[in-house]
Structure 1
Amino acid sequence: MKKTIKKTIVFLVITSLFVSCTKDFEELNTDKTKLVGLDVASLEYSFSAAENRGIYSYAGQYQLGPGLFSDLQAQYFATTQKNFASDRNVMVANWLNAAWNFFYAAASPQMDVVLEYTKPGGKLQDPMKYAIAKIYRVSMYLPITDNWGAIPYFQAGNGKKEVLYDSQEDIYKDFLKTLKEATAVLSAYNGTGKFFEKGDIIYGGSPAKWLKFGNSMRLRVAMRISKKDPALAKAEAEAAVAAPGGLLISNADNANVSVSPIYTNPLGGYANLGEFRMSSSMESVLKGFNDPRLPKFFAPALNGGAYKGVRNGMTVTQMADPTNSINVTSGINATNVSNSVTAAKDNEGKTPWTIFTAAETYFLLAEGALNGWNMGGTAASFYNAGITASLNQWSITGAEVTTYLAGTSTPIALNDSYNTPAMTDIPVAFAATPDKQREQIGTQKWLAIFPYSSEAWSEVRRTGFPKLYPRLNSDNLDSPASDPLSIRRLPYPAIEAAVNAGGLASGISKLGGPDKSSTKLWWNP
């Protein structure tokens, strides 16, 4: 693992921003008045940089952010590197610093520039570009507040020495307000033009696709608060479903962040290190369901060709067990960037990174219907449509889809040295009782979101599904191994106490508990 993050120049902006794990975090207070001289072409590339950096696009940054936190907490993967204690719930200060720094010093400022220039009265004001940028800003900030809770949001990048944090409740309500306003602008557009056409690496500047994405983001955000504020969640979800422009319900409209020699798949360089493997949770479910996505998601072991996962929370001694060796366990499939160094490197510039799929939309609709909300269909029909969309996304069609939807087999016991039982007892075929249906929706959504762990971890915490395995060990006294959901949030990075002490204090005061990994987020009562 790289201990020092390469310094990154924020191109096309006069002021350069530099990022490293140990560098003082002055960039949080970047004074946007220094950003001068952008033209239309420069603005395009600032937007593409925001899109790219908003997903922790560099391998080293991805590893220190999602890779060593949400990837493991969502149990998509388990760590096989003895130097990484994060799979035993250790909150490593330097990694937290790096994840926070990259977002606030390299990703968010790019979006600030775009918004500053395109807003009403801005030097390059454009209501359509402004609306699109606001929608993407929500998608950038959603996993950040879901990682930490209260964060700098309204005042981020305000140029002041002290940047106060905002409560998660206020942030979420602003998400909904922003999405409503931005989608209204896009839905009123009757032209045929494109916006950020050269710089938009997700939709190529298509207003219609950004509108669907914005409506679907509104549905995602609404569902997240459904346990905390069910009345608001219901109203916003139903409004998103009824909104002009429709929802993202076709794989042709999936939000894929394109890759290139410049913009790489964030798992690319990280995957080729061989420091993580398929989790036992994934193994139990995919094998038990006879899931045709298994070879799409993961690669057979280099020795023996089996598909085998490992338990989360292994000690160094357990990692040294030959049965957990990287040679006899499964890495991520080379199609996504995986098990072999060559395959991973070759695919860094070929496989896009997906942040929203049609399958997720259908599962959100299924849960809403199960809640009794007006989603325009039944939970069963949306559930089956979600599975179908996910399978189709991975080029699985026809009879394989029909067979899978009717499947009655359940997750398997793993017959390993830890006597790991089946993860749960649900089949794929939609059950008759609401409790089982809710678990099935959550479990299939977890599979469909793969490998976007930032969203998966939030949904696991919110719903409790899938019923993940306990960790084998936890070195965090606040978060026991027996509870796979015991990590509720990430503690604030230590660097904030040094450079933004007043802001940090304001954040802690808005958490509803101490600055610990065991403190629940606002939406997770």
Structure 2
Amino acid sequence: MNKIIKYIGASAVICLMAGCTTNFEDFNTNPYQPSKVPANTLLSGMFNVYAAPMQNDCQHINCMWACFSGQITAPSTWSKGENLFAYYNAMEDHNAATWAKIYARIYPNFFRIEEATEKKGVIYAMAQLTRIYAMQMMASLQGPIPYSKVKSGDIRAAYDDEPTAWRAMFDDLDNVIAILKSAAELGINQDLAAVDQFYGGNCEKWMKFANTLKLRMAIRVSGVADYAQAKAEEAVRGGVLESVSDSSYDTTSSGINENGYAIVSGWGEVRANACITSYMNGYKDPRRSAYFTKQAAGFSEDYVGVRSGSSVAPNPSDYQNYSNLMITTDKTLPQPVMYAAEAAFLRAEGELKGWDMQGDAETFYEQGIRLSFEEFKVTGVDAYLDDDKSKPGNYVDPNHSADNYSNLSTITIKWDKSATPEEMLERVLTQKWIALYPDPLNGWSDFRRTGFPKIFPATHSANPDCKPARGQRRLRFADTEYNTNKENVEAAVTMLSDGRDSNGTDLWWALKN
């Protein structure tokens, strides 16, 4: 098990775990000093924020709060009673875990790489990209973050408010893309290839990844940032993911670096969420067999998920016969990081906004679905795209009728040119959410930003700040920050929309009603 042993300033938590100390040597003395370890080796230590292949990292970064996405739920005994994310009231150790793991992966090595490379070259660009990827996650989870004011040697970093942090990340990402564009013309970068389990040192692929991340970020802040359209259009002109061969997976498959989802779900601590199985059952979606295991015989549906925030005390043994993640069949299956389908759906939404995404919304919408079917090697996409009758299904729990839920969505699959703008957006975001399984942060962020897809709420809330209809809106700041960086984290609280460090507080870019 991972043991958190030391917090470094406002933003770096150093964990000592089996198999994770190789790239962190000497960090207990001064983690911000340049290391004699080669910069590319240090980079490999940062890479685990992309897919969290280690089992405990996967719990903390991918699974515990994933119930908010409607894709995964956790009928677990991680804590007693209703101190769980499923009821919007997670105990502090779990609330702080994502913060701890992400910062532990990034900052101990980032400044070492920065100094070792003198802020030049591909390895530095990749360290920057990895930092941005991790920090846009943290900004989407909690809001204000230490970013522009985090410096080598700092023990307590001030937080940026959300507009400042997001703009700084875009500026850094532009620099990354420029470096990767130049490097792409030279072919495979051998230093990067030695540690790159995603694209084998292919800088052109990484450039597309970075542009797609830029497009994702632009869409996320599109309701509040006046520069979002320009950034999105720059990303598309620069080249985004377009084919299945562009999709990013973590292919690590040795030691404890197996597929984190596979290990955690094998413990019975996660299951398919009732929300996504109900949508896909209603659509008769052929991808179900690629996403989920079938439930045990005797249920009315072949694929039955677990209602997140159920009416009964969560216990893995109660749900052992419900659908699991199909990824459990092979612990060494590559773990997804970013699908090419995401770029297509982002471009579809951009077109709905009137942005120049170099196409039209219908084409990108259908392209996203086609790419997803191809990604999962599933047939029947033409019939699926032509289905104008099927609607998302309701949920019937075979054992707990109090968990039954009538789906609020009636959106169909086939593109409808006569649909209202709201219906078009719901159609795009619903299919995007299905296609990007399992990618919990995208779905939860879209729901908070737009209200779509219509994710099933918990049966009740254990947190007075969170109403089931809106769910949890953010992760609160970690208690360790109050203990070690009190003045700065208290200043960060004043930057939030309602000045409260609450699970129910809306982020800068989210809907406020």
TM-score of the aligned structures, taking structure 1 as reference length: 0.86
Amino acid at match of 1:472: T
Specify every segment of 5 or more residues in structure 1 that has no aligned partner in the other structure, as ranges: 18-26, 121-125, 338-342
Which residue of structure 2 aligns with residue 439 of structure 1?
A: 426
Which residue of structure 2 aligns with residue 15 of structure 1?
A: 26
Deviation track 1:293-335 (CA, whole Å, cap 9, x = no partner) reads: 1111110123447311222212445x57x9x9323311111xx
Q: Within the alignment, does 1:145 sit opposite 2:139 as a pair?
A: yes
Q: 2:409 aligns with which of 412, 415, 424?
A: 424
- Could you tell me the percent identity over the aligned residues? 27
Offset at residue 509 of structure 1 (A): 2.4
Q: In 2, Cα distance between the equivalents of 1:145 and 1:253?
A: 26
Counterparts in 2 of 1:423 and 1:112: CA distance versus 1, 3 Å:
farther
Which residue of structure 2 aligns with residue 412 of structure 1?
A: 393
Q: In 2, Cα distance between the equivalents of 1:265 and 1:298?
A: 16
Which residue of structure 2 aligns with residue 523 of structure 1?
A: 509
Deviation track 1:180-239 (CA, whole Å, cap 9, x = no partner) reads: 22212222343234141111121111111111111111111111111112x311111111
Q: In 1, Cα distance between the equivalents of 2:231 and 2:307?
A: 39
Offset at residue 4 of structure 1 (A): 4.9
Query: For the Cα contact (< 8 Å) 2:344–2:367, is it kept in 1?
Result: yes
Q: In 2, Cα distance between the equivalents of 1:352 and 1:156?
A: 33
Counterparts of 1:313-462 in structure 2, within 5 Å, are: 313-317=309-313, 319=314, 325-333=318-326, 336-337=327-328, 343=329, 347-348=330-331, 350-397=332-379, 400-408=380-388, 409-416=390-397, 417-418=401-402, 419-431=404-416, 432-433=418-419, 434-462=421-449
Offset at residue 72 of structure 1 (A): 0.6
Which residue of structure 2 aligns with residue 238 of structure 1?
A: 233
Q: Describe the SS at the equivalent of 2:22.
A: coil
Which residue of structure 2 aligns with residue 128 of structure 1?
A: 122
Q: In 2, Cα distance between the equivalents of 1:454 and 1:178?
A: 22
Q: In 1, Cα distance between the equivalents of 2:494 and 2:118?
A: 32
Q: In 2, Cα distance between the equivalents of 1:364 and 1:116?
A: 36
Counterparts in 2 of 1:10 and 1:155: CA distance versus 1, 3 Å:
farther
Counterparts in 2 of 1:118 and 1:4: CA distance versus 1, 3 Å:
closer
Q: In 2, Cα distance between the equivalents of 1:510 and 1:257?
A: 36
Amino acid at match of 1:412: G
Query: For the Cα contact (< 8 Å) 2:111–2:152, is it kept in 1?
Result: no
Amino acid at match of 2:323: S
Q: In 2, Cα distance between the equivalents of 1:221 and 1:199?
A: 26
Counterparts in 2 of 1:81 and 1:214: CA distance versus 1, 3 Å:
closer
Deviation track 1:26-48 (CA, whole Å, cap 9, x = no partner) reads: x9xx5412x33223xxx222212
Offset at residue 292 of structure 1 (A): 0.9
Q: Within the alignment, does 1:487 sit opposite 2:486 as a pair?
A: no
Counterparts in 2 of 1:127 and 1:81: CA distance versus 1, 3 Å:
closer
Which residue of structure 2 aligns with residue 264 of structure 1?
A: 258
Counterparts in 2 of 1:461 and 1:15: CA distance versus 1, 3 Å:
same
Specify every segment of 5 or more residues in structure 2 that has no aligned partner in the other structure, as ranges: 5-14
Offset at residue 274 of structure 1 (A): 0.8
Deviation track 1:45-69 (CA, whole Å, cap 9, x = no partner) reads: 2212211245433212321343111
Q: CA RMSD in A?
A: 2.3
Q: In 2, Cα distance between the equivalents of 1:224 and 1:259?
A: 30
Counterparts in 2 of 1:456 and 1:114: CA distance versus 1, 3 Å:
farther
Q: In 2, Cα distance between the equivalents of 1:106 and 1:176?
A: 21
Q: In 1, Cα distance between the equivalents of 2:216 and 2:154?
A: 33
Deviation track 1:360-389 (CA, whole Å, cap 9, x = no partner) reads: 000000000111111111100000000000
Q: In 1, Cα distance between the equivalents of 2:247 and 2:148?
A: 29
Query: For the Cα contact (< 8 Å) 1:54–1:107, is it kept in 2?
Result: no
Counterparts in 2 of 1:167 and 1:375: CA distance versus 1, 3 Å:
same
Counterparts in 2 of 1:74 and 1:138: CA distance versus 1, 3 Å:
same
Q: How many residues align?
A: 482
Q: In 2, Cα distance between the equivalents of 1:171 and 1:54?
A: 20
Which residue of structure 2 aligns with residue 253 of structure 1?
A: 246
Offset at residue 96 of structure 1 (A): 2.1
Q: In 1, Cα distance between the equivalents of 2:187 and 2:367?
A: 31
Counterparts in 2 of 1:497 and 1:193: CA distance versus 1, 3 Å:
same
Counterparts of 1:458-477 in structure 2, within 5 Å, are: 458-477=445-464
Which residue of structure 2 aligns with residue 23 of structure 1?
A: none
Query: For the Cα contact (< 8 Å) 1:143–1:455, is it kept in 2?
Result: no
Q: 1:274 aligns with which of 268, 271, 285?
A: 268
Offset at residue 106 of structure 1 (A): 3.4
TM-score of the aligned structures, taking structure 2 as reference length: 0.88
Query: For the Cα contact (< 8 Å) 2:457–2:471, is it kept in 1?
Result: no
Q: Describe the SS at the equivalent of 2:253.
A: coil
Offset at residue 352 of structure 1 (A): 1.8
Which residue of structure 2 aligns with residue 302 of structure 1?
A: 296
Q: Describe the SS at the equivalent of 1:256.
A: strand
| Greater Cα offset, 107-116 or 457-466 | 107-116
Q: In 2, Cα distance between the equivalents of 1:298 and 1:475?
A: 29
Q: In 2, Cα distance between the equivalents of 1:86 and 1:448?
A: 24
Query: For the Cα contact (< 8 Å) 1:411–1:426, is it kept in 2?
Result: yes
Q: 2:207 aligns with which of 207, 211, 236?
A: 211
Runs of 4 or more, structure 1, over 4 Å off, are 2-6
Q: In 2, Cα distance between the equivalents of 1:241 and 1:105?
A: 32
Q: In 1, Cα distance between the equivalents of 2:126 and 2:355?
A: 28
Offset at residue 423 of structure 1 (A): 4.1
Amino acid at match of 1:517: N
Which residue of structure 2 aligns with residue 87 of structure 1?
A: 86
Q: In 1, Cα distance between the equivalents of 2:348 and 2:42?
A: 37
Q: Describe the SS at the equivalent of 1:196.
A: helix
